[in-house]
Structure 1
Amino acid sequence: MTALVALAFLVPLGVLLDRGTRAAALADAARRSGVVAGALAVTADPAAVTRAATAASADPAGRPVVHGVNAGGQPRAGAADVARATRERTVVVADVSGGVVRLEPVTVGRSVVVVEVFVTEAALTAGSGGHWLLLAGIALGLVVAAVVVVDRLAARTVASARGLVEAAMAVGDGDLAVRTQPSGPRELAEAGYAFNRMADRLVTSRTNERELVADLSHRLRTPLTVLRLDADALDSDDTSVGTFSAAELDRRRTIRRIRQAIVTLEGEIDVLINTTRKAVAHEAAPGMCDASEVVRERMKFWAALAGDQNRPHKVVGAHLRIPVAVQRAELAAALDAVLGNVFRYTPQGTAFEVAVSRRDGYVAIRVDDAGPGIANPDRALRRGASDQGSTGLGLDIARRVAQQANGSVSIDRAGLGGASVVMLLADADATPRQVSRFGLVGRRARERDPGQRRWPRQRATD
């Protein structure tokens, strides 16, 4: 575009300079012709005319020639051009070999003579080459300057856009402390300010949410304390000393489960309150826990309940340390939600299995059961949707925890015959993969439809 603008202005300027040079050469020819015309106005004597022509130009080639007076010189104009100048009584400029001639009619007595002045081609174009070279240099300089300026402006714009994109990606990955420095064009600067305001609002909303969770958790302590006091007032749950009937054994085991559940619930509420308070105060580091340890710890609680309901169960792969980027309390809550569904929606005596494995930068926590399965997996993964009359939040809790760890949740048919729920979490020890545009597209697609991911399960042999 800059080159076109330069050509639009500089080409007419060059043509104008060429015309000025030609006009200056013809003006000089008119001056020389005027000297001879002045002499003719005084006398038509050939000798006087010759002296005037010699005085007009020292160069013999540029001396005026008078048609009609024998004053010497070699005429170059054609007879037709001389006749036209005589007839029309006007100055005629005609092209001849090597340049142009200027024919000026002069009245001498009753007759008309024509003064001819030859202007060479070199005189007509004197300095034109230098003019065009100068204009070409100016045009090239303008183009180079425009390229440099546009490159600097584009670099600032690209840097501002790249900073905004990187900040948006960081916030999308969960780092709400990232802010961008608004810069660049006004539109990008306004977008940067809007992004910072959005991030501030997200931080405020998350802080308020965690405060609310902590407050609600604290409010649960009052009824929980009442339950604990009532449980302490119950009879002993010891079944190791004495002989008891089947009904008495069942009653004492029920009392034991109630007390264990209350203790576990108190511990979970304390962990929830402490975790949310630390997150609000920015005291907690990024969430990290050992998935195997969480599975082993939670299975101690669920194994006791499974023994009371005669449920065969198995834990596979939880003997090695497998770190994941999620807080322990959140992973425990997600695992409890999935195992709670097994105990809630399958008959007593139904077998289940919990397996932990790692592969290709991901950790899979799989919960299989031998129940009737899940008829509509996609509906089961939607928040608030349930075909069993519940709140529909159990699997959604697991899904949100998995997404916090850059993973997902999928439902499939288990090898035991029932449902298989797989929580896929990013392996905290895995080497980060190179980010690419296609990988980002795939990741966004998985977030939109988390049920599409399938984890190749490793079957345990009995």
Structure 2
Amino acid sequence: MAWVTAATTGVAALAFLTPLGWELRSDHRDNAIATAERRSATVAGALIAGSNRGGVNAAVQAAGGQLTVHAPNTTAGTRATPADVTRAAAGTEPLLVETDDGLVHLRPVPVAKRTAVVEVFVPRSELSAGTARDLWTLLGIALILVAGSVIVVDRLARGAVSSARNLVQAALRVGGGDLGVRIQPSGPRELAEAGYAFNRMADRLVTSRTSEREMVADLSHRLRTPLTALRLDAEALDPDDTQIGQFSAAELDRRRGIRRIRVAIATLEGEVDDLITTTRKAVAKQVASAPEVGMCDAAEVVRERMSFWSALAGDQNRQFQVVGASTRVPVPVARPELAAALDAVLGNVFRYTPQGTAFEIGLSRRDGWVALRVDDAGPGIPDPERAMRRGESDQGSTGLGLDIARRAAQSTGGSVSLDRAALGGASVVMLLADAEAPPKQASRFGLIGRLARERDTIRRRRSH
């Protein structure tokens, strides 16, 4: 990844900096020619003004550089060829002549109906002065760009690769039978969502396997009733002893059949007992290995998840507000579970309300309960009762979003309620137990009622 990034950035830098370097080289050459033109113009002004030799020499000294004045019809001392001087004198525009060691600027100057030529020589070193410095500077910039891009991409890729590696390792461990493994979602948005989905999948696998084993244990236990009846019926049969007394062949066969029946019933009863014991132990071990219900800071979860959803809210031009998440609010819910529940509710807001719809997240504590509220300004939920039933949805989805929130709330003894929000849309309130105060069951619905009354008061105020 780093080598690919370095190569890509290097090619892009060369594609951008190469024409820039060529342009800078041309600028230095043009500046050198412009300087030569100014020098020749200084001397040409003295010649046109009719200055004597002393004045012309003073102008030459003032102009500086390697400058020569050719009198009319003279070509001696030129760095170009005599033909070039003659050609320049015959024209009216300056003439540039390339030589092996530089460039010659020839300016014709009319003097007393004849034409003199002012020659300015520009060495090659002046034509390329500063070019090497500029090229080294551009090369340094290119190296800095390549190194910076490699570092940034390496940091980003390292986080993404680490998250993907953790997800793969966790998936392999789950595939190997370790259903107690969980991961801390991290990395890019897609990998973080995959991490939350993985944790939910693992939780459901634990629940499913536990339910299956409990069902097997229950079914096995049910078999004990008819087996007990069979055992009692078998005990009521005649004795099966064949060692004492003289018996006919038919009686021996009958008693041996009774013995086989009793042995088969005892064997089957032992197998069922072993199945019940083994299944119960597996269920107990599975429950013990499952992650315990932890504790987290609901305010921190709200802030963390909003840092995730705020980017999408900005893309969809949604105004949002977070209320009450500035102080610590502990709840007896595992951090991934509360994050998954909040993501499920916020996901419904983004999925089922038009872009640009505002929403609000509120967090409050009262009477031993914590209310996590998500309001939106969308069209609302037409059938709240049906929306709360697992697996049912009017929007063509799985209908499990609110169920995830409901199970997270019920794990603390709380609940989930739906109502009309003060913003005009739906209001989803997750009622969670306060980890720092024993919940009071009698006040649970009172808090929901007070929240509803507060929403009605706010709605009435806005309507007026």
TM-score of the aligned structures, taking structure 2 as reference length: 0.55
Matched, 1:8 2:15: yes
Aligned to 1:22: 29
Matched, 1:41 2:48: yes
What are the within-5 Å matches in structure 2 for residues 60-459 of structure 1? 62-68=65-71, 74-282=77-285
In the alignment, is the contact (CA less than 8 A) between 2:210 and 2:287 conserved in 1? no
Identity of aligned residues (%): 60
Deviations 1:334-358 (A, max 9, x none): xxxxxxxxxxxxxxxxxxxxxxxxx
Residue of 28, 32, 54 corresponding to 2:39: 32
Distance in 2 of aligned mates of 1:283 and 1:249:
50
Distance in 1 of aligned mates of 2:279 and 2:114:
119
In the alignment, is the contact (CA less than 8 A) between 1:163 and 1:180 conserved in 2? yes
Letter of the 1:36 partner, please give it.
V
Distance in 2 of aligned mates of 1:258 and 1:284:
39
Distance in 2 of aligned mates of 1:264 and 1:165:
45
Distance in 2 of aligned mates of 1:186 and 1:284:
31
Q: Shift of the alpha carbon at 1:222?
A: 1.9
Aligned to 1:304: none
Letter of the 1:198 partner, please give it.
M
Letter of the 2:105 partner, please give it.
R
Letter of the 1:254 partner, please give it.
G
In the alignment, is the contact (CA less than 8 A) between 1:29 and 1:117 conserved in 2? yes
Distance in 1 of aligned mates of 2:37 and 2:222:
111
Distance in 2 of aligned mates of 1:82 and 1:70:
9
Deviations 1:240-262 (A, max 9, x none): 32222222222222222222222
Deviations 1:295-348 (A, max 9, x none): xxxxxxxxxxxxxxxxxxxxxxxxxxxxxxxxxxxxxxxxxxxxxxxxxxxxxx
Distance in 1 of aligned mates of 2:27 and 2:200:
64
Residue of 43, 61, 71 corresponding to 1:54: 61
In the alignment, is the contact (CA less than 8 A) between 2:182 and 2:202 conserved in 1? yes
Letter of the 1:217 partner, please give it.
S
TM-score of the aligned structures, taking structure 1 as reference length: 0.56
Distance in 1 of aligned mates of 2:276 and 2:182:
29
Distance in 2 of aligned mates of 1:282 and 1:116:
101
In the alignment, is the contact (CA less than 8 A) between 1:54 and 1:63 conserved in 2? no
In the alignment, is the contact (CA less than 8 A) between 1:46 and 1:70 conserved in 2? no
Q: Shift of the alpha carbon at 1:71?
A: 11
Distance in 2 of aligned mates of 1:14 and 1:33:
29
In the alignment, is the contact (CA less than 8 A) between 2:72 and 2:117 conserved in 1? no
Q: Shift of the alpha carbon at 1:5?
A: 0.8
> Are the structure 2 counterparts of residues 172 and 67 from structure 1 closer, same or farther at C-alpha, using a change threshold of 3 Å?
same
Distance in 2 of aligned mates of 1:43 and 1:283:
112
Distance in 2 of aligned mates of 1:164 and 1:214:
33
Deviations 1:3-26 (A, max 9, x none): 111111221222122122222222
> Are the structure 2 counterparts of residues 284 and 45 from structure 1 closer, same or farther at C-alpha, using a change threshold of 3 Å?
closer
Letter of the 1:29 partner, please give it.
A
Q: Shift of the alpha carbon at 1:28?
A: 1.9
Deviations 1:105-127 (A, max 9, x none): 22334333221111111111112
Q: Shift of the alpha carbon at 1:276?
A: 2.1
What is the SS of the residue equivalent to 1:220? helix
Distance in 1 of aligned mates of 2:183 and 2:48:
88
In the alignment, is the contact (CA less than 8 A) between 2:97 and 2:103 conserved in 1? yes
Q: Shift of the alpha carbon at 1:161?
A: 2.8
In the alignment, is the contact (CA less than 8 A) between 2:75 and 2:85 conserved in 1? no
Q: Which moved more, 1:180-189 or 1:170-179?
A: 180-189
The CA RMSD measured in Å over matched residues stands at: 2.7
Distance in 2 of aligned mates of 1:180 and 1:246:
71
Gaps of 5+ in 2: 1-7, 290-464
Aligned to 1:294: none
Q: Shift of the alpha carbon at 1:230?
A: 0.9
Distance in 1 of aligned mates of 2:99 and 2:244:
139
Q: Shift of the alpha carbon at 1:164?
A: 2.4
Deviations 1:191-221 (A, max 9, x none): 3333333333322221221122122112222
Q: Shift of the alpha carbon at 1:70?
A: 9.8
In the alignment, is the contact (CA less than 8 A) between 2:24 and 2:131 conserved in 1? yes
Deviations 1:391-444 (A, max 9, x none): xxxxxxxxxxxxxxxxxxxxxxxxxxxxxxxxxxxxxxxxxxxxxxxxxxxxxx
Distance in 2 of aligned mates of 1:236 and 1:250:
12
In the alignment, is the contact (CA less than 8 A) between 1:92 and 1:102 conserved in 2? yes
Aligned to 1:333: none
Distance in 2 of aligned mates of 1:106 and 1:284:
105
Distance in 1 of aligned mates of 2:218 and 2:107:
110
